[in-house]
Every structure is written in structure tokens, then in C-alpha cells.
Amino acid sequence: MHSKNLTLLTDLYELTMMQGYYDKQDNPTVIFDVFYRSNPFSSGYAIAAGLEQVIEYVKNLNFSYDDVDYLRSLHIFSEDFLQYLSGYHFTGSIYAIPEGSLIFPKEPILKVVAPIMEAQLVETAILNILNHQCLIATKSSRIVYAAGDTGVMEFGLRRAQGPDAGLYGARAAVIAGCVGTSCVLTGKLFDVPVMGTHAHSWIMSFPDEYTAFKAYADLYPEGCTLLVDTYDTLKSGVPNAIRVFQEMKDAGISPRKLGIRLDSGDLAYLSKKARKMLDAAGFEEATICASNDLDEYLIHDLKMQGAAIDSWGVGTNLITSKDCPSFGGVYKLAAIQNKNGEFEPKIKLSENTEKITNPGNKTVYRIYEKETGKMKADYICFVDEEINPEEDLLLFDPSETWKKTKMKAGTYTVREMMQPIFINGECVYTSPSVKEIAAYCRQEKDTLWDESKRLFNPHQMYIDLSPRLYEVKKQLLDRMSADD
Amino acid sequence: MHSKNLTLLTDLYELTMMQGYYDKQDNPTVIFDVFYRSNPFSSGYAIAAGLEQVIEYVKNLNFSYDDVDYLRSLHIFSEDFLQYLSGYHFTGSIYAIPEGSLIFPKEPILKVVAPIMEAQLVETAILNILNHQCLIATKSSRIVYAAGDTGVMEFGLRRAQGPDAGLYGARAAVIAGCVGTSCVLTGKLFDVPVMGTHAHSWIMSFPDEYTAFKAYADLYPEGCTLLVDTYDTLKSGVPNAIRVFQEMKDAGISPRKLGIRLDSGDLAYLSKKARKMLDAAGFEEATICASNDLDEYLIHDLKMQGAAIDSWGVGTNLITSKDCPSFGGVYKLAAIQNKNGEFEPKIKLSENTEKITNPGNKTVYRIYEKETGKMKADYICFVDEEINPEEDLLLFDPSETWKKTKMKAGTYTVREMMQPIFINGECVYTSPSVKEIAAYCRQEKDTLWDESKRLFNPHQMYIDLSPRLYEVKKQLLDRMSADD
């Protein structure tokens, strides 16, 4: 039901360019790279997410009669071309870094190898899907990091930018470490924990707060978290909650989980006071959940101030990635196959050096220190290059080339990050479950230095080019400026 | 195809509360108001959008077998309740301010009157849909305002927060005054203009820029906009575009539209230079389109600097509403029907005065000055109150009550803003087309004072309460604080 056909979810220019290639009867195989230029939030890393939805999109790509009729009505497409579209399906190959992986700027995270007409069409939707989920996964990971050993729940559906943003944003949040979501549809479609108790309206629909709590506890004795801030948190909410907890205890009910939720006021002050009140009443096991405009910075500060908070419900700031609501993934031409079947590297110039692309048919290796198991660098090279860990490996910074590190033979291990997803139109990859992806993501983060996880001014990973790739890039740049 | 079933697009707590009401066998009819507390971007207004999708959502509300099976698997719902859900459909009434209307803080923009179980369920999805589209419409309206008599095109699909955010964001953008969108699916589903030409990859896939331009012009002689910044805008791009335009002219082709697009560099400088070059070559009619990280502030500044730009392609900052990516719409209990069939007003207290709600079964009237046709104030009152424009009307500020204005009899006109959408489960409203909504929205903006349209520090509209509503609110507040 939710794998809707997104074939027309594309910018018009993809179709006008397609017709151009069709008209020229020249449809060379090309390579497009998806990559991003810098980490959002000045983070030390980002998290790959959305590949499963990209796969669904590509599998479902086809122009219905309706779609073709609509395109005909625009009066810019020829009947021949529309005929071609009716029979269109994707015949190319796609390689990608799996979901849950840590990813870094300027390295290809997904690569499309396909006839240019096909490769051009899929640009917009692939970027839309990856940009969204990578963004929310990265934001969520920062929030989860700030919360440390306390759990983060995703509660943002009502403020998400439309239904999909809620549905898939929650998916990305769980991949990145959130313990669950309030979004029931995400729970159903992706088998992840769903969470939530009641709202202020529940309290307000009863004659008084105590009666409302009591009714809720009667109904959900197993897991009873009461929202205590409808009237006055410390004077009314917490005492009423304790009264109900005591009545449950007296009745011999021992719930799996007792707790309160704070949703307004000063969360540091109120949580410490509430903790004391709960403890004094003999409810040391009762947990305190906090919500209300939280993000990684506020959680970090509240924890610094000793807030007695056991779990966090994070909404708007997570699901919209408020301080940076877009992920700058781009889709750039890297190579065109010539008549001899070789991929000729292509480069996009820019006055802004940061925007110059890496040419050619590339892959990404991740280099780990053998001793610590931690990531040392990512190494971008041509697909036909191999790294032999029994030989020394020279790493150097592609912008500041005097910065060099030699990895001694035997001191490092290597992992190729990109995996085949589609080969000649056939999907060869099975997406893991979201729970599996989340577990893998946790492992991935364990291999990242703590210095790169900091919220503020983290160490930025080394992203290096192979000497051969560096040389080819340099030659292309030299040749282009000589043309001036 | 795109009216998917969003029944489970809800927070879990809506369902746990529903079961609570079900269990208590007490399902009074209640009133929930959707409203927001302050304008995003410190704007002087917001724009209503998303109602058509809310209507679809409510019409399609039903729990499939799959949905019920999934809920059963959570082990928190009784069989009785699950049985009830299988037969669930919405039997309540909904009133709303139509799409394209200007809306203001604290007034109800949508009102649900329904048995509490039903009213509670629809909270999350209604907020999700309205919050998203109202946000993007309001942001777009500001960008359109900054662009003045030059057109704004929505180009953000690849950076939108998922497919729906692109699809419906573009819809909201057109409602608010964008002349078109790059999103083909939005064009198809909502019959709005789609736009776009070609990307840098088109240029790069040809041996040189001239050949690429030439090929494009051959293909689309009718409307030919060439992207001139792939190599060097002024040295290569604009001269090559002029060469191709000249060749078209020489061949006797007179296109409906000739133009260039600038996508990098200093848009003020480059557009003025390019304008001179185009004019000098005899192409005064060729238009200049600009894109690249635009928003209302940059467009405003570029126009101040005399940029020679005829149209704007706006992407990321529009489609994600970058400087404020969420609209704070909330859904609050306003009244509960008692045994006598009367709605007893309910109020939500808060330490934050701004967060105190307006109680009761309300509606909104808009008051216009007869002489100018401009909006004077919005007037929130109970549904049984009527305004007779042949009598004096006292307006006063509900927070600063000494601020009073008397509208003299005969000097003003009145319009009720809320319209019936569903009555007892039946949809009684037909959504206008997006083009009609956009035309209505233009009219709406014509009735707003220029002072309220400014980008910076605009005049904030007067949103007043009727004396009776004010009194009831005051009494409820007094009673609650007496309870302390």
C-alpha cells in the first residue's frame, strides 16, 4: 500500500533532458555519484539511510498510461519519446554504502551506472529520499549521543513535513539509535517499537487529575507513565501520580514500568524535585520522561545540570532537523563510457574549490587501525585499484597535500564500503530489517573515535584520494584551465 | 494512487487514549480546535493550506485487517476494542477556514466536533498535514512578496523532507503564489504549471558548451532557457547562449521564450552584466532566471541592488522552510458536551500565558473596513453570537484590554471564516482546484494592509475576542486559580 509509484516524482528537466538524449539517438552509459559536501550541524560524520526506499522506487519505476497522458498534455514531448517512456524500466547498475553506515563528505555514497537517459531520470527521487533519511538519521544520532545511556523516543509526527516525513523520519531515527517512535505506521511497516501514553486532553476530559490518572492506571497497569504537568507539576501532578502508584501497590499490582512525564517548565529543576518526591514515597523504580522542545544541545545541558531524567521524547527538532533542515546530497556526472567501453572521467569545475567533483568510476575503502579497530581514514580510488594491507599505504589530504600519513604494512585493515544493489537492472541486494540496520549502526559508531562524535567542533575524519585519482583530477583541472 | 490509507499515521497515545474512553463506555461529544500561537518567520500572517488532504485522510479513515492484526500484536489492546476499530469510521463534524485564506495566531483554523474517541484519533494526521502545508505556503508567500512582479518557481524537490514533502510542498507553494514547480507529480495531480530546462550534466555530456546549447535549442525552440554557468558565465556561457539565439534568429525561428539561467556566482553582478550583453546583441526579450540558495531575504537584497533578474528558481530554503522548518499548529480540547447537550467550555492552563487556550464552541469573523476593503481585525466568538454591521462593534485586545477600537455601525463588513467541511461524518465541501485556491489567495492578500506584508517587523493583525468569550475565559481562569 505504501510502495506507491513515484515515477513522476521528478523534476521536469530530467524528462526534457531525457528527450534530448533520446532525440540525439546517443545514449552512452554514464556514471553519476551521489555525495554531499559537508556534514550538517558541523557534525563529525553523517549516517547513511534511505536505501531501502531507493530500491523500492527503482523497482517500481514505470510510466503508467495516466503518466504518459499527462506528459503528452504538456505538448513538449514527441510521440516517439512518449512511446519509449511507456516501455521504460531501469536497466542500469547501482552501488551504495549500506544503510546505517557512517558516511563522510565528498565520498560517493551511491553510484548509478546506466545509459544516460535512465541515469538522468532517477536523480531527483534518489536525492529526495537519501537527503531526507540521511538528514534525520544524522540529527537523531546526535540527540542519542547527547542522551548517553538514557533512551530517546521519536515523537515528532505532528510537526513533520507531511506524512512521509513522519513515517520515514521515524524509520531513520530508529536506525540512528532512538529506542522507539510514537508513529504507529512506522511501527507497523518497519517492525520497530512504538511508544506513548496519554495527552493533556485525557486529563482535561476527566473531572480532576487524580481520576484521570486512576483511570489510566486501571487500564494500563503493565506500563503506566502519567503526564503530570496539566495543572501544576509539583503541587498536583506528582502527588496525584504517587497516590495512584501507591494504590496500585496496595492492590498488589506491580507494573513492569511506572513513570511520569514532564512536558513543560524547567526540566532540570522539576525532574530533580520529582525524583526526590518519588523516592521519598518509595518509588525509586519509577522513571521520569521529559519532553518539550528538546534537542541535543538542551539534553546535553540538562544532563550537565544533573537533571533526573531517564528518557526523552523528542519531537519537532528531531523530525524537522530544525537547525539544518536539509542534507546537501548532490548527483554529479563522474564519467562517460567511450566507444571502446572505457569510462572517461568527467569533472565539474566551479569557482568554489569545494564544489569541484571527483572524476571517474570510483569506490570507497575504509581504513581501520588494526590495534584499536577504529577508523583511520576513508580512501576514495578507482574501482580497479586494490589496497593490499600487507603493503604500506600512503594517505594524504587532497586539498592540503603536504599533510601525509603512512600506514605501515600489517597495521591496518581495509573494508570496501560500496556494495552492488542493482546489476543491469536486477536487484541483487536484500535490505536488512530496521532493527538489524540499527544494530549495525551502533557497531559502526563504535569504530568512530570519540573525538569525532562530539557535538561541538568534532575531529573531522580524513577523506583521502588515491594517488592515481588525485593525478587524474589534477590533469583534468589543468587541461580545463588551459582551455580558458 | 496517491490517496493512500493513513489511518495508522497517528501517535500511539491517540489509540491508547481511545481505548481508555472505550473502556469507560463514556464517549461524550467534544470540540477540538486547531490553532497556532505565533506566526512563523515573525511574519504578519500565515496562509491556510492542506485542507484537501485532510478531507481525503478523513474520508479514507478505516482500519484494515492488517492494521488491526498489527495493533493486536502490541498486546495492549483488548479484542473488544480491536473489534470496535475494525468498524470505525468518522461520524463527527469538521469546520475549517478554506485553503488560501490568510490566518492569524490563536484563532481556530479547523474545528473537530465529534465523540471524543473519534476526535482524539484524527489529531496527529490533521496536524501533520496542516502544519506542513501552512508552513510551506506561508514561506512561499514571503518569497513571492520579495520577488514583487517577477515570478518565483518552486525547484526544491530533491531537498524536500521525503516524497510527500516535495509533492505537497509544491502544491502549497503554488497556492501561495509561485508560478509553477519543477515537480512533475505535483503538476499531474494538481494541474499546476511544471517548469524546468536542463542541468549542468546536460552541458557536460557534450563535447562543449556551444554544442550542448545548440542541441537544446534545436529540441526546444519554443521555450529555450540555457544554463550558462557550467564553465564561465560571462566568458563562455552568455556568449555561447547569444551565439545560439542569433543562429535561431538567422534561421527564422522566433521562440515564445528565450532566456538564460544563472546558478552560481554573484547574481546581482552577473545578471547586470549578462543583461547588457544580451541587450547589446539585440536580445532584449531574453529573460534571466536565477537560482542558487535563494530565499526572501536574498531576493529582496538582490532586487535592492538592481539585479536584472526576471524570474527565480527557489529550492531548499522554500521547500524545507529553512529558517523555521515547523509550523506550530496544535489541537486543543475546547469543550465537552454535557448530558443536556450543552457544550461546556474547557480551558488549558499554562504557566506561559501565551499557551492558555480559548474555551468553548467558537467561530471566527473577519472584519473589513468598508471604505478600503482592507482587513481590520479577526473576531473570535461563540458560534451563537452574531455581528450586525448595522450596529457599533467594540474591538479590544484580549491581553492588553485597555486597547480598544469602536467600529461604527455601517463602516464595516463582516465575513464568517469557518465553513462546514464534514457534517455528522458526511463530507459537505468540495475543494476548489489549486488554481482557484491560488487566485483566491491573491485576493485575500489584496485585503491585507501592506504594513502586515513586510518581511521585517510587520504590523500584527488584531485578533480579538467577543466580550462574552472574554468573560467566560476569565471566569474559567478565576475558578481554576481559586481551586489551587
A·B CB contacts under 8 A: 294
A6 within 8 A of A62, measured Cβ to Cβ = no
* Residue B3 pLDDT > 60: no
Query: Do the Cβ atoms of B201 and A326 come within 8 Å?
Result: no
Decide if B76 touches A, using CB distance below 8 A: yes
Report the C-alpha gap between B136 and B53 in whole angstroms.
15
* Residue A477 pLDDT > 60: yes
Helix (H) or strand (E) holding A333: strand A330-337
Nearest to B244 by CA among B275, B264, B271, B219: B219
Using a CB-CB distance cutoff of 8 angstroms, which residues of chain B are in contact with residue A158? 11, 123-124, 127-128, 131, 329, 331
Query: Which grid coordinates are listed for A383?
Result: 574501482
For chain A, the first-to-last Cα distance in angstroms comes to 54
Report the C-alpha gap between B55 and B309 in whole angstroms.
39
A327 within 8 A of A131, measured Cβ to Cβ = yes
Counting every residue written for chain B, the total comes to: 484
CA atoms within 13 A on the CB side of B403: 8
* Residue B347 pLDDT > 90: no
Report the C-alpha gap between B350 and B358 in whole angstroms.
12
Fold classification of B150-319 is TIM Barrel (3.20.20)
Cα-based distances in Å from B24 to B12, B18, B19:
19, 10, 8
Domain boundaries in chain B? 12-136+325-483, 150-319
A402 within 8 A of A411, measured Cβ to Cβ = no
Q: What is the DSSP letter of A234?
A: I
pLDDT of residue B68: 98
pLDDT of residue B226: 97
Instruction: Note the pLDDT tens digit of each residue in A61-105.
Output: 999 999 999 999 999 999 999 999 999 999 999 999 999 999 999
Report the C-alpha gap between A83 and A411 in whole angstroms.
57
Report the C-alpha gap between A376 and A355 in whole angstroms.
25
Nearest to A198 among B16, B116, B196 (CB): B16
Decide if A105 touches B, using CB distance below 8 A: no
Nearest to A325 among B2, B155, B320 (CB): B320
**Mean pLDDT calculated for residue range A22-44:** 94
Phi, psi of A103 (to 5 degrees): -130, 160
Report the C-alpha gap between A408 and A412 in whole angstroms.
7
pLDDT of residue A482: 65
Nearest CA in chain A to B216: A20
Report the C-alpha gap between A29 and A31 in whole angstroms.
7
- For A375, the 3-state DSSP assignment is strand
pLDDT of residue B193: 97
Decide if B436 touches A, using CB distance below 8 A: no
Instruction: Note the pLDDT tens digit of each residue in B409-460.
Output: 999 999 999 999 999 999 999 999 999 999 999 999 999 999 999 999 999 9
On average, the pLDDT of chain A sits at 94
State whether CATH 3.20.140.10 applies to domain B12-136+325-483.
Answer: yes
Residue B254: CB atoms within 10 A of its CB come to 11
| Reported ipTM | 0.96
A159 within 8 A of A174, measured Cβ to Cβ = no
What would you report as the CA-atom Rg of chain A, rounded to the nearest whole angstrom? 26
* Residue A418 pLDDT > 90: yes
* Residue B2 pLDDT > 50: no
pLDDT of residue A2: 46
Which tops the pLDDT comparison, A396 or B344? Answer: B344
Q: Report how many helices (DSSP H) and strands (DSSP E) chain A contains, helices first.
A: 16, 21
According to DSSP, the residues that pair with B403 across neighbouring strands are none
Query: Do the Cβ atoms of A162 and B157 come within 8 Å?
Result: no
Mutate which of A8, A11, A231, A324 to disrupt the B interface (most B C-beta within 10 Å)? A11
Instruction: Note the pLDDT tens digit of each residue in A327-360.
Output: 999 999 999 999 999 999 998 877 677 778 899 9
Report the C-alpha gap between B25 and B18 in whole angstroms.
11
Cα-based distances in Å from A173 to A134, A143, A166, B13:
10, 10, 10, 19
Nearest to A361 by CA among A377, A340, A384, A338: A384
Decide if A204 touches B, using CB distance below 8 A: yes
Residue A14 corresponds to which amino acid?
E
What residues contact B173, with CB distance under 8 A and at least 6 apart?
Answer: B136, B137, B140, B154, B181, B318, B319
Sign of the torsion formed by the C-alpha atoms of A231, A237, A239 and A244: positive
